[in-house]
Structure 1
Amino acid sequence: MQPLRQTSPEGVDYRDLNGNGRMDPFEDPRLGVDERVADLLPRLSLEEKVGLMFQTVIEAGADGTVKEAPGAISKSATSDVVLRKHLTHFNVHALGDARLAARWHNALQAIAEKSPHGIPVTVSTDPRHAFIENAGASFAAKAFSQWPEPLGLAALRDPELVREFGDIARQEYCAVGIRAALHPTLDLATEPRWARQSGTFGQDPDLVTELSVAYLRGFQQDSLGPGSVACTSKHFPGGGPQKDGEDAHFPYGREQVYPGGRFADHLKPFPPVIEAGTAAIMPYYGMPVGLEIDGDPVEEVGFGYNKQIVTGLLRGTLGYDGVVVTDWELVNDNHVGDQVLPARAWGVEHLDPAARMELILEAGADQFGGEECVELLLELVAAGRVSESRIDESARRLLAVKFRLGLFDDPFVDEDAAAGTVGRSDFREAGYAAQARSVTVLANHVVQVGGADRADGADGADGQFGADAPVLPLPTGLRVYAENVSPDAVARLGVAVDRPEDAEVALVRLHAPFEPRSDLFLESWFHQGSLDFPPGLVARLARIAAHCPLVLDVTLDRPAVLTPLLPLATALVASYGSCDDALVDALTGVRPPEGRLPFDLPRSMDQVRRHGEDVPGYDDPLFTFGHGLMVATGRPAAGD
């Protein structure tokens, strides 16, 4: 697998990456990172250095092979983009099982070995340990251990758990060769309509800061090294306050606003994460409107183009000297099939791609996300619009991360170890427990059942609803009417019935409402717009509640207006990524729910529309940040 592996006359095991038969300083694992970078950088051609400055989507082929043709999203054949364009950073989308993922990664690294200096590939990923499947933001866990979305981790307020999650995710990523994470998301969830809140730690800047540092420690460990996953903390300087909650992936969501003057709140998580050693930072797409910093107006262009933000604030004021990678596709329009998504060139739409690229480099970024147009950058250098010394500045930062990760010394992974690590039983158990514990009880009312017979035929036994007692924790052995709950999970509560009229309790799972959109590529994945449930749904739930106690769970990937549901529900809970069995564990007290809201829940859409996009919380919410009721334990689960 590693034909370049050699032993020096001094007995040092090394990889002869340039094939010259001797151990050059950049190949010497005994030397420090700065010394190795300083040796390698002058050896590289301009084309190799330019290739470092692009990170694009890559797709794995079938059966662990590389894909040697453009894919559904990826633009080029693998060998072409690695050996001709010299790209060495890739964001992977769909993956097979752990063994196939590891096999694909090794095949990719074997191609990289054929390049002039054998620069290893760094594979990155968006989050892939929870439930939401969104090709523009995150992927469902599949083979990996499955956890609640970051909002659910925030609901538990437990930095040690967040670090444990990061450490488990780190082990699973490393096992299949993923060595860079395009997360954590440090944005504040202050605008309830925004589609990206599920990936945040909520609205409170102090909680977001504490949990983000713990997250980083889990992935990168105490310092970036051979066992680390390099984190890209995003979206600088805080991507939450989108005008009207519209997402900046799309032209109608380009504006970022601060009507409450709370810019400092959104910036607050970044300095501690920089101090903790984040390997990279990503500015957001958003274009600040009406923002001033220290009395100076900030230019109204997207943050990735904004020199005041990247060079002035991030590199200057905050002293950050690491990698800055732009968010995806700031230079070129994205053509996928017959769909076109305009480049996110907010505020500079009038510039051509070359001028946009030049402006991004002037702003202070090192790497172009979602692009592979190396020819354009080479043309800018040839024309004297970008100096080679500017290329060297970014190449040096990017190479240093690869060396710190140990990729130059050994980029390959073991298929058997990958299969034994990814989705390991203790990892899955930890994620499952967090799913159950993160459930947040918003309301838990008293219920009287009278002398209703239990579904198992017992009369008055432990497990039947008690008179004048809260509905939660749920007893087992009931007749259950359920919607959007798996039959196996319902069977743990009792016997499923088809009509509310025949039930002793109804359990209904809902998703936070949104307005479906599908005109633009990726748009259908983003849950945007109104937080109101449709009136027809509310009326139907009222009919169910007229026949039996109604237990409602609402999965909150962003807030919802729960006001019309509150009088209907005997118990109302929120979840943030919990499978049906984990929800049943929480509802029955097998794993008592401990979650507390990571954001305020508004009373109405009128309240939302009056609310400043950058302001955490409301004066009079329906439920406030931190709300969550404790539920008694000790109820038996079905089969216990």
Structure 2
Amino acid sequence: MRTIRIGVAAALLASAAGLSAQGAGPAVSASATAHPDQWPALAMKRQRDPKVEARVDAMLRRMSVEDKVGQLLQVDIASISPKDLETYKLGSILNGGNSAPNNDEFAPAPEWLKLFDAFYDASVKRSDGRPVVPVIWGTDAVHGDNNIVGATLFPHNIGLGAMRDPELVRRIGAATAAETAATGIDWSFAPTVAVVQDDRWGRTYESYSEDPSLVASYAGAMVEGIQGRVGGDFMRPGHVISSVKHFLGDGGTGGRDQGDTRVSEQTLRDVHAAGYMTALPAGALTVMPSFSSWNGTKLTGNKSLLTGVLKERWGFDGFAVGDWNAHGQVPGCTNEDCAAAINAGLDMFMYSGPKWKELYANTLREAKAGIIPAARLNDAVRRILRVKVLAGTFEAGRPSSRPFAGKFDLLGSAEHRALARQAVRESLVLLKNNGVLPIKAGANVLVAGAGADNIGQQAGGWSITWQGTGVTNANFPNAQSIWGGLSEAVRAAGGTAILSADGKYTAKPDVAIVVFGETPYAEFSGDRPTLEFSPDDKSSLQLLRRLKAAGVPTVSVFLSGRPLWVNPELNASDAFVAAWLPGTEGGGVADLLVAGRDGKPRADFRGTLSFSWPKRLDQYVLNRRDPNYDPLFAFGYGLSYAKGGQVSKLDEARPANAGGDQNALFVRGRLAPGASFRTSGAVTQARVDRQAQEDSVRLTFAGAGELAVEQAQPIDLSRESNGQLSLILDYRVTRAPTGTVTLGMAGGRSATVPITGVLRNAGSDWTELAVPLRCFADQGVDMARITRSAVIAATGAAGIDVSGIRVASAPPGPVICGQR
């Protein structure tokens, strides 16, 4: 199926269904002012070097205010060209979630290095005698160098948390840094040290654990892996700058991205700050403040935390870099003007959009006028220069000339793949085994499920593309699917393996392994209203039950970015393995599931839950510190061959009012809770089949008319207008339009984009059309009160079948804002 993308930017959509904020600990104070004297002082391993300080001071004295303000800006490569840096001496560039060289997310590694050379060359070109300060490039290398085709992708953090192995985490950090350095890039936005308290959050898989002590045990180790050890190989070639994120309390927002963490200062300190207690002493050079709020105040503008706690109490002397246009959410600010964030303690804006020169001009004006005091400006620039000196930026030279640059054989190297495979083995958690594992030598094995031969699904979000969507196995050349690993292991043990995604077979197998789970997502798109696995699609459960009814012993391998309510799936399985999001080394799954020729396990399970597993789908807040803690599987649970155990039949009762995914406005024949179809004018609707009976709607326009998805209650999308999700339509044309056709959205006022040309050129095949939400926001739609989330309107005769309307990340590729 081909995809049509419309628009140049998009807003993000989080679940609009009852996502309440929460947190563990004492009663919440309404105050968002921290008291630094109540926070512990930190013993930093890295002390200030007088020679570094003198060098920084000397540069600072020679810099103009224009130079200084330039250092405060980091701009997305999709919004800026190398030529711009000849005039604007900016501090940094980044590649956002969907940004890449030549607008090609599948660009080969040499293209990344080539583009960094171009930016670097422009940044150091000057003849006015003022200091040359090279630009640095930041990237989200969050589970490996995940933007680069061919890189090793390790299990996401939730899987690493199940390992309980800080030394392996350190080695993973070092391998990720080496592969990042191979492309010349010198800064990774990792690690995420969120202590997630509500698993509905779409970034839960970026958290090591619900438990602060486990997060603390990993944070410092990962920083040392990425940057090297202070006093040892710190920032030596092959290491890159680390960024600890998202400061502070991002895991306590009630399951909603960019939400509000309503907790006491004690809980903020003792639970949510745990990772910083080890990451900062390990020498972390940058910290990224959160999009989210603490007790109603945006973290990016909270001076008591950014300055009072982070810098003054803790003694952090690196710099604070903002998240994606997060400064624009600070009260009184816009994306192009936010002195308040700098004055609160932010040192570098992260900006995406075409108006970055306005941000520069406004910041320069405010610096000259004293709105940003000279002392604050100098402090921010001093911190940025200090990091660049410590990172060796000034001596490193052109990116392609650096010691690790161009060593593309490091991407997916045998050593790194072995490390990733070890991490997969250590991260799997055996939840149930009623005598079927390990798979016996010589067995005839059926391997089924949509995730069995799907590297993109097993890798999850932040895997080449931001949301992890729009990829195929061919995009992962140095990888192995779970099917690939199982096939090898079964054959090595003298058995046979057959792949059948739908689970159909001709000869009854001895055992079936079904690989299924969540499809890839990242923030916003991954937020959920409940913890029910796949409420809108029960095909995996139906497959399991079909095999059970046929008397086939069945092993479930569950791919997910969080614990989910899967009681029906557990009941339909003889064994159940929580595989999380294992990355590119699917063979690590087979290492544990399939016995050797001698009939003995080749390795045993050692992973244990770093997140509590829910007994009910409404157990959003399920942390072992909480009152009335009642999980299905407790924190630390995990079976093994050495330590067996069986699971009895589980309760499958589902609350009658359990909601579906609010992002899925119309999927598989069902409308999201609170949504309804409303037609007007000369249009009729009827149900037709695509993948299931009556799962699509047929629209027949005899003249002017419209179909709208109306919300019973307005959806608040005001926070989400900053990002990159789209309104996506799955459709086919049954009659070419004779008039104009538009796709729209309404909130306060209505806005539309023309899609007539798209429909006329579509043919009769099923097609996907993506319209960034920002196209509507820019036309004045009140994103805080979306009452009509999708409107298809025609002025003349037309025929359109629609099988899906949803909010998600558009597949890779260039976009426009309409086609007439």
Query: 1:326 aligns to what SS in structure 2?
Result: strand
Q: Counterparts of 2:385 and 2:563 in 1: how far apart (Å)? A: 41
1:44 and 2:25 are equivalent in the alignment = no
Q: In structure 2, what is the equivalent of residue 103 of structure 1? A: 114
Q: Counterparts of 2:431 and 2:281 in 1: how far apart (Å)? A: 37
- 1:604 aligned to 613, 616, 627, which one? 616
What are the Cα deviations for residues 42-62 of structure 1, in whole angstroms up to 9, with x where unaligned?
21121111111111222xxxx
1:148 and 2:187 are equivalent in the alignment = no
The AA in structure 2 aligned to 1:101 is W
Q: In structure 2, what is the equivalent of residue 19 of structure 1? A: none
Q: In structure 2, what is the equivalent of residue 483 of structure 1? A: 449
Q: In structure 1, what is the equivalent of residue 727 of structure 2? A: none
Q: Aligned in 2, Cα 1:626/1:409: closer, same or farther, shift over 3 Å?
A: same
- 2:277 aligned to 271, 274, 282, which one? 271
Q: Aligned in 2, Cα 1:624/1:617: closer, same or farther, shift over 3 Å?
A: farther
Q: Counterparts of 2:67 and 2:114 in 1: how far apart (Å)? A: 26
Q: Counterparts of 1:392 and 1:617 in 2: how far apart (Å)? A: 48
Deviates more, 1:504-513 or 1:594-603: 504-513
Q: In structure 1, what is the equivalent of residue 92 of structure 2? A: 89
Q: In structure 1, what is the equivalent of residue 743 of structure 2? A: none
Q: In structure 2, what is the equivalent of residue 381 of structure 1? A: 367
Q: In structure 1, what is the equivalent of residue 378 of structure 2? A: 392
1:625 and 2:611 are equivalent in the alignment = no
Alignment of 1:100-499 (within 5 A): 100-116=111-127, 117-130=131-144, 139=146, 142-223=149-230, 224-227=234-237, 228-243=239-254, 245-248=255-258, 254-258=259-263, 262-263=267-268, 264-289=270-295, 300-331=296-327, 343-345=328-330, 348=331, 351-352=333-334, 357-370=338-351, 372=356, 373-412=359-398, 413-414=400-401, 417-446=406-435, 470-484=436-450, 485-486=452-453, 488-489=484-485, 491-492=487-488, 493=490, 494-496=496-498, 499=504
Q: Aligned in 2, Cα 1:632/1:100: closer, same or farther, shift over 3 Å?
A: farther
Q: Counterparts of 1:388 and 1:260 in 2: how far apart (Å)? A: 31
Query: Post-superposition shift, 1:357?
Result: 1.3
Query: 2:202 aligns to what SS in structure 1?
Result: coil
Query: Post-superposition shift, 1:571?
Result: 0.6
Query: Post-superposition shift, 1:162?
Result: 0.7
1:581 and 2:587 are equivalent in the alignment = yes
Query: 1:480 aligns to what SS in structure 2?
Result: strand
Query: Post-superposition shift, 1:163?
Result: 0.8
- Is there any run of 5+ residues in structure 1 with no aligned partner, and where? 1-29, 59-73, 131-137, 249-253, 290-299, 332-342, 447-469, 517-521, 634-640
Query: Post-superposition shift, 1:385?
Result: 1.4
Q: Counterparts of 1:259 and 1:561 in 2: how far apart (Å)? A: 29
Contact 1:262 / 1:614 at 8 angstroms: preserved in 2? no
Q: Aligned in 2, Cα 1:193/1:524: closer, same or farther, shift over 3 Å?
A: closer
- Is there any run of 5+ residues in structure 2 with no aligned partner, and where? 1-48, 102-106, 454-482, 491-495, 595-600, 644-820
Q: Aligned in 2, Cα 1:606/1:483: closer, same or farther, shift over 3 Å?
A: closer
Q: In structure 2, what is the equivalent of residue 553 of structure 1? A: 557
Q: In structure 1, what is the equivalent of residue 607 of structure 2? A: 595
Query: Post-superposition shift, 1:192?
Result: 0.8
Q: Counterparts of 1:512 and 1:260 in 2: how far apart (Å)? A: 35
Alignment of 1:61-72 (within 5 A): none
Q: Which has the higher strand share?
A: 2
Q: Counterparts of 2:278 and 2:414 in 1: how far apart (Å)? A: 33
Q: Counterparts of 1:399 and 1:260 in 2: how far apart (Å)? A: 32
Q: In structure 2, what is the equivalent of residue 337 of structure 1? A: none
- 1:563 aligned to 561, 567, 578, which one? 567
Q: Counterparts of 2:447 and 2:241 in 1: how far apart (Å)? A: 47
What are the Cα deviations for residues 177-215 of structure 1, in whole angstroms up to 9, with x where unaligned?
221111111111221111112122111111110111111
Q: In structure 2, what is the equivalent of residue 9 of structure 1? A: none
- 2:82 aligned to 71, 78, 83, which one? 78
What are the Cα deviations for residues 437-489 of structure 1, in whole angstroms up to 9, with x where unaligned?
3211111112xxxxxxxxxxxxxxxxxxxxxxx43245443141512313644
Q: Counterparts of 1:513 and 1:241 in 2: how far apart (Å)? A: 24
Query: 1:262 aligns to what SS in structure 2?
Result: helix
The AA in structure 1 aligned to 2:196 is A
Q: Aligned in 2, Cα 1:617/1:605: closer, same or farther, shift over 3 Å?
A: farther
1:511 and 2:517 are equivalent in the alignment = yes
Contact 1:99 / 1:416 at 8 angstroms: preserved in 2? no
Contact 1:128 / 1:144 at 8 angstroms: preserved in 2? no
The AA in structure 1 aligned to 2:248 is P
Query: Post-superposition shift, 1:624?
Result: 1.4
Q: Counterparts of 1:174 and 1:622 in 2: how far apart (Å)? A: 43
What are the Cα deviations for residues 577-610 of structure 1, in whole angstroms up to 9, with x where unaligned?
23443322221144443221111011112332xx
Normalised by the length of structure 1, the TM-score is 0.75
Percent identical pairs in the alignment equals: 26
Query: Post-superposition shift, 1:620?
Result: 1.4
The AA in structure 2 aligned to 1:363 is A
Q: Counterparts of 2:247 and 2:158 in 1: how far apart (Å)? A: 19
Contact 2:90 / 2:123 at 8 angstroms: preserved in 1? no
Q: Counterparts of 2:631 and 2:624 in 1: how far apart (Å)? A: 16
Q: Counterparts of 1:119 and 1:513 in 2: how far apart (Å)? A: 43
Query: 1:499 aligns to what SS in structure 2?
Result: coil
Q: Aligned in 2, Cα 1:612/1:598: closer, same or farther, shift over 3 Å?
A: closer
Q: Counterparts of 1:502 and 1:145 in 2: how far apart (Å)? A: 37
Q: In structure 1, what is the equivalent of residue 665 of structure 2? A: none
Normalised by the length of structure 2, the TM-score is 0.59
Q: Which has the higher helix share?
A: 1
Query: Post-superposition shift, 1:273?
Result: 1.9
